[in-house]
Structure 1
Amino acid sequence: MSTIKMIALGGVRENGKNFYIAEVNDSIFILDAGLKYPENEQLGVDVVIPDIDYLIENRDRVEGIFLTHGHADAIGALPYVLANIKAPVFGSELTIELAKLVVKNNEATKKFNNFHLVDAQTEIEFDNALISFFKTTHSIPESLGIVIGTEEGNIVYTGDFKFDQAASQLYQTDLARLAEIGREGVLALLSDSANADSNIQVASEAEVGIEIEQVISNWTGRIIVAAVASNLARIQQVFDSAAHNGRRVVLTGYDAENIVRTAIRLKKLSVLDEKLIVKPKDMHKFEEHELIILETGRMGEPLNGLRKMAIGRHRYVEIKDGDLVYIVTTPTLSKEAVVARVENMIYKAGGTVRLITQDLRVSGHANGRDLQLMINLLKPHYLFPIQGEYRELSAHADLALELGMYPENIYLVKRGDIMVYDPKDGFRHEGSIPAGDVMIDGNAIGDVGNIVLRDRKVLSEDGIFIVALTVNRKEKKIISKARINTRGFVYVKKSRDILRDSADIANKTVESYLSQDSFDWGELKSLVRDEIGKFLFDQTKRRPAILPVIMEVK
């Protein structure tokens, strides 16, 4: 009998950061290695990855990293994992090429080259499991689900998926293979839940293509299309419509350039005329009605790029009268307020905004009925809803109950929960491992924590208040009285009284402390901070970050 453990390091009770561990005896199989983009309150943070300390401690047991598709929520954390764990990486041709781009952009992993191509016919035999794959439909070609074959039955990880009967060959789901896996016997199903709380029929990619064609063909001026760089299905539709309407496509983002060129080279994107794609520096050679500008933004986030276009700070493009901004991505709930603000700025600049979601329900994730179809095809004994906020995981569980699954066989786990399989009782919760967020800020990994974020929040809301003075500790006197500098707190010219009184308070506090026999720099600065803080709150009802700078003359 095999010992089986399931652990989610990310991707549960959150959107993005897909990162799951399946342990079979002494072997560890990593399923996806994704990141997520920061929430609004994570000021200054670039990306967020899971805590991988458990994997680092057990690196010798890691058999491999298995990737389902080439989006950042599945491959984005690879460089940080491979910097510590030199495990082989498996994925489809396009997924591996995109993973290589991510890995080679990181100094610590740019020489890593232990990549292995797999497809739906591949089987890889390890000592404790047989790994195989199946084709799924998502917004990027060659998405794969993963099957871990064990003595106790198959463990199936869907990755991000949906069902689309009109999907083209590169995107088609292999329904026959799914039924075959179900007949073999599925012990546990880890299934995408990102759209579980909706039963609205998602538009097929054929319908989306028709909608994009209509919008582009009906507009007579310049068109700026905002998309996610790795949503190759959407980019293909934009290319097709551009070619049909005699327009050229300008790629403005570094990510888009890399991903699109890679996909074209691998023939996963079809471009009939190589002259279709125009470099930004050559835009001036064409009339405005001949152009489609494809904005994907840094790290695939187009909204910030649109904001810069609207206020005239974009490197290549400024929105003006007659422009159509066509947003063909589906924003998450957390981004709705950002979309509204950017939309307002575009109208102020003279542009017009159209969202694809105004007319169609668009998603790369299965709705409730599709999730039930997946369960019916695979017939799992146990279900782990993953990839989604808690409400979505809970909705997925309710859908499984409708199909007759027992509630005790459905597990809404938290990050880090260790779920151990028992043939009699199913999966039992046996403790947890650290699985918090690790924030990446520039080149710094993990040194931005809650305290740093709290300080950034204070600085962003109430500003900083700096008090500088010089003392002679031996003579117990102030050599240079307090001088005040402030940023983001008050308008200096209209608040001179507050600044002068604050300086007086600082001088009196320091003089009083110097008259004592004991002396401690930390204690002195804390006193100055407390006294000035009380005064400023009384005067303004605000709490700026107060930074005492006390120097000593010897």
Structure 2
Amino acid sequence: MNKINIVPLGGVRENGKNMYVVEVDELIFVLDCGLLYPENELLGIDVVIPDFTYLEENKNRIAGVFLTHGHEDAVGALPYFLENIDVPIFGTELTIELAKLAVKETGLSPKFDGFHVINEKTAIEFENVVVKFFRTTHSIPDSVGICIQTTEGSVVYTGDFKFDHSASEMYRTDFSKITEIGSGGVLALLSDSSDAESPVENVSDLRVTEEMVDTFNNADGRVIVACIASNILRLQQIFDAAYQTKRKIFMTGTKLVEVVDVAIKLGKLVLPSRDVLVTQENLDKFAPDELIILETGQSGDPMEALQRMAKNKHKQINIVEGDLVYITTTPSISMEKIVAKTKNLLYRADATVKEISEAFKVSGHATPNDLKLMINLLQPKYFIPVQGEYRLQAAHAQLANEVGVPFKNIFIPGKGDVIEYKDGRMRMAGQVPAGNVLIDGIGVGDIGNIVLRDRKLLADNGIFVAVITISRRQGKILSGPEIISRGFVYMKASEDLIKNSAEIARKVVEDNLKNKDFEWATLKQEIRDSLSRYLFEETKRRPVILPIIMEASNYSKK
């Protein structure tokens, strides 16, 4: 009898950063290794990845990392994972190539060569465990779900998926394989919850292409299309619609070009014509109504790039009057404010804006009816909603109950929660280390809550610096206090505040200098406390206060 633990290290109570651990006896199977792009409150942070502490402590037990698809929320954290953990990586052909690109971009783990290509027919045998795969429909080809067969039944992870009965062969779901897995007995199902609250069904991808053709035909000037670089399905639709409307495509950014090159090389993206793509040098040869500018941005979302275009700060393309900006992504709720700001800037730059989501529901994730169908096909004994914020997990749990899974067999975990199957029963059984690791430039995990708090204070209230030079031997101030304010008050209009602050800092220093054995830390803290009280009384704001005390060791007055 296998002992089984299921531990989400990411991807629960959040949108992205998928990483799930399935332990079968002594073996650890890692499902996906994704990142999350930060929201506004994480000032200056580039990406967020899972905490790998538990896996680093148990790396000798890891059988491998098994990837469902090539989006950043499934493969983006691999470069950081592979820095300290050398284990095999399994994924479909396109997924592996995109994972290699992710590793190449960071420059981390350049010598790693443990990538293994699988397909939906692959079965990988381990002791008492067989790992199998089944094809799913998503917004990128080569997407698969993962089935870990044990003596107690299968643990199935869907990855990101939806059902589209008119999907092309490259994107088609393998319903027979899913049904076969369900017939064999599913112990636990981990299923995508991203669209569990959607009141509207997704439209067919064929309908999306028709909508794009209409949009391109009716545009009088350039069409600037915004989408995600790794959304291969959307790229294919854009290429097809451009060809049908006799327009040429210019792709901005190196990341987009790399993704497209890989997808074309593998036959996962088909150019309807060799000359549908043009270079920047050839743009002047075409009239505006013959061009499509394809913008995907450099950090997971094109909105920032569109804002630069609207401000005439883009390196390649800027907005001109008559442009139509066509947003073909479906932004999450957390992005609505950014999208609104972007649209405002675009309108001010004399462009018009159209969102594909205004016409119909477009998503790569399953809506409630699809979610219930997946549960019915697999018939799991236990159900674990993943990939989504808590309200989405809860909505998915309700859907599972509606199709027959009792609430006692449904678990809504947080990061690090251990769901244990032992003695014929599944239950919550403690926690392992888990959380967010923040990436800022080349720094991995060196930005914590204190640094973020200081950044927020600086952003909200600015900085207030007091610079003083003293002589401990003479017991007096040699120069200063000089007060410097940035982002707090305009110094020329706040002369009394600056003068009084200098006097407060002077008094604190002079009081401490009466004792030649004073502590530097105590002196600085007293300056902070005194200035903080005064500035809050006067302004009701709390800037970051930075005392800079310099000691002159050999000072002689001339």
Matches of 1:108 and 1:193, distance apart in 2: 32
Corresponding residue of 1:247: 247
Corresponding residue of 1:401: 401
8 Å CA contact 1:49, 1:439 repeated in 2? yes
The 1:128/1:280 distance shift into structure 2, 3 A limit, reads farther
Query: What is the one-letter code of the residue matched to 2:478?
Result: I
The 1:498/1:284 distance shift into structure 2, 3 A limit, reads farther
Q: CA deviation at 1:515?
A: 1.4
Q: CA deviation at 1:298?
A: 1.0
Matches of 1:189 and 1:344, distance apart in 2: 43
Corresponding residue of 1:145: 145
Corresponding residue of 2:229: 229
Structure 2 residue 405 is matched with structure 1 residue 435: no
Structure 2 residue 60 is matched with structure 1 residue 60: yes
Q: Aligned runs of 1:485-504 on 2, under 5 Å?
A: 485-504=484-503
8 Å CA contact 1:196, 1:392 repeated in 2? yes
Alpha-carbon deviations, 1:339-366, whole Å to 9, x = none? 0011001000100111001011111110
Alpha-carbon deviations, 1:29-65, whole Å to 9, x = none? 0000001011211000000011111100110111110
Corresponding residue of 1:299: 299
Structure 2 residue 257 is matched with structure 1 residue 257: yes
The 1:281/1:434 distance shift into structure 2, 3 A limit, reads farther
Corresponding residue of 1:204: 204
8 Å CA contact 2:473, 2:516 repeated in 1? no
Q: Secondary structure at the match of 1:298?
A: coil
Moved more, 335-344 or 480-489: 480-489
Query: What is the one-letter code of the residue matched to 2:418?
Result: I
Matches of 2:498 and 2:310, distance apart in 1: 38
Matches of 2:281 and 2:500, distance apart in 1: 56
Q: Aligned runs of 1:200-349 on 2, under 5 Å?
A: 200-349=200-349
Alpha-carbon deviations, 1:441-474, whole Å to 9, x = none? 0000001111111100010111111111100011
Q: CA deviation at 1:253?
A: 1.9
Query: What is the one-letter code of the residue matched to 1:138?
Result: H
Corresponding residue of 1:126: 126
Matches of 2:128 and 2:468, distance apart in 1: 68
8 Å CA contact 1:33, 1:74 repeated in 2? yes
Query: What is the one-letter code of the residue matched to 1:225?
Result: V
Structure 2 residue 455 is matched with structure 1 residue 466: no
Query: What is the one-letter code of the residue matched to 1:507?
Result: R
Corresponding residue of 2:520: 521
8 Å CA contact 1:255, 1:300 repeated in 2? no
Matches of 2:277 and 2:438, distance apart in 1: 36
Query: What is the one-letter code of the residue matched to 1:290?
Result: E
Matches of 2:26 and 2:128, distance apart in 1: 8
Q: CA deviation at 1:279?
A: 2.5
Moved more, 512-521 or 25-34: 512-521
Corresponding residue of 1:478: 477
Query: What is the one-letter code of the residue matched to 1:435?
Result: A
Matches of 1:280 and 1:158, distance apart in 2: 41
Matches of 1:311 and 1:128, distance apart in 2: 60
Q: CA deviation at 1:285?
A: 3.0
Matches of 1:198 and 1:205, distance apart in 2: 18
Corresponding residue of 2:556: none
TM-score, length of structure 2 as denominator length: 0.98
Query: What is the one-letter code of the residue matched to 1:432?
Result: Q
Corresponding residue of 1:445: 444
Alpha-carbon deviations, 1:483-504, whole Å to 9, x = none? 1112111122212222222112
Query: What is the one-letter code of the residue matched to 1:532?
Result: L
Matches of 2:187 and 2:469, distance apart in 1: 71
Q: Secondary structure at the match of 2:380?
A: coil
Corresponding residue of 1:187: 187
Alpha-carbon deviations, 1:170-221, whole Å to 9, x = none? 1000111111111111111000010011242111111111111111111010
Matches of 2:423 and 2:498, distance apart in 1: 71
Q: Aligned runs of 1:342-361 on 2, under 5 Å?
A: 342-361=342-361
Matches of 2:115 and 2:260, distance apart in 1: 21
Structure 2 residue 106 is matched with structure 1 residue 94: no
Corresponding residue of 2:43: 43
8 Å CA contact 2:239, 2:272 repeated in 1? no
8 Å CA contact 1:51, 1:436 repeated in 2? yes
User: How many equivalent residue pairs?
Assistant: 553
Gaps of 5+ in 1: none
Q: CA deviation at 1:300?
A: 2.6
Q: CA deviation at 1:283?
A: 2.3
Corresponding residue of 1:4: 4
Q: CA deviation at 1:517?
A: 5.0
Matches of 2:300 and 2:255, distance apart in 1: 7
Query: What is the one-letter code of the residue matched to 2:258?
Result: N
Percent identity reads: 51
Matches of 2:403 and 2:159, distance apart in 1: 21
8 Å CA contact 2:228, 2:300 repeated in 1? yes
Matches of 1:492 and 1:314, distance apart in 2: 34
Query: What is the one-letter code of the residue matched to 2:16?
Result: G
TM-score, length of structure 1 as denominator length: 0.98
Q: CA deviation at 1:524?
A: 0.4
8 Å CA contact 2:50, 2:437 repeated in 1? yes
Q: Secondary structure at the match of 1:412?
A: coil
Q: CA deviation at 1:284?
A: 2.6
8 Å CA contact 1:256, 1:300 repeated in 2? no
Query: What is the one-letter code of the residue matched to 2:307?
Result: R
8 Å CA contact 2:37, 2:46 repeated in 1? yes
Corresponding residue of 1:83: 83
Matches of 1:283 and 1:507, distance apart in 2: 64
Q: CA deviation at 1:281?
A: 4.0
Matches of 1:265 and 1:361, distance apart in 2: 31
8 Å CA contact 1:264, 1:271 repeated in 2? yes
Matches of 1:13 and 1:256, distance apart in 2: 30
Query: What is the one-letter code of the residue matched to 1:180?
Result: E
Moved more, 278-287 or 248-257: 278-287
Query: What is the one-letter code of the residue matched to 1:483?
Result: E
Structure 2 residue 163 is matched with structure 1 residue 163: yes
